[in-house]
Amino acid sequence: MTERELMWSALAWPATEHLVLRADGDGVRADGAIVALDGRPTRLAYTIEAGPDWTVRRLTVAPYGEPGLDLTRRGDGRWFDGAGTERPDLAGCVDVDIALTPFTNTLPIRRLGLAVGASAGVRVVYVPVDQGLTADAADQRYERLGQDIYRYSSGAFTADLTVDDDGLVTDYPDLWRRLA
């Protein structure tokens, strides 16, 4: 995969996402934009930069007309905000999960490279965009059920995600479906 352009449509509320994804030997860059009506009209842009192994290096999230969130993960695993202040509460996080996008599920799916039947827990930087732009650590789990199906769980929530050959979500039951 060198460059892909993708779109998803939300199933539970009016929303769409457009993503431009670039991956090469130097790393991965995802530029996404989401327009949604989730309680209120929302326009959100995000950029995720990761290494060639899909380990997140930087996350920026910016709602239209509001202050954004900028987080950087250094090589030693420590996270820092845009002002250069360390975020020790995010220690151990390797992936990120932005609540309004199915794309962020691809990060651990690609990074872990699970065999069918295998599972792994991950610690992520979770960004719940409906509560302002905060970032907290959260524990999640991925289990590869088949060639193109992963069970994702976080707390009591579970979903069986269908993905393509690049690990990009094609169907997130009851929430998102990728457009052709």
Label residue 132 by pLDDT band (50, 70, 90). Answer: confident
Structure tokens at 45: 């842009």
Predicted local confidence at residue 14, as pLDDT: 95
The predicted structure's pLDDT at residue 1: 61
Distance CA 42, CA 164 (A): 28
Cα–Cα distance, 63 to 46 (Å, whole number)? 9
What integer best gives the mean pLDDT of the chain? 95
pLDDT tens across 24-65, in order?
A: 999 999 999 999 997 788 899 999 999 999 999 999 999 888
- pLDDT band at residue 67 under the 50/70/90 scheme: confident
Structure tokens at 81: 């905000």
CB 17 within 8 Å of CB 33: yes
| Phi, psi for residue 20 in degrees, rounded to 5 | -110, 120
Strands (E), the chain: 3-10, 15-24, 27-37, 41-50, 56-63, 69-73, 79-81, 95-98, 119-127, 136-146, 149-154, 157-163, 169-172, 176-178
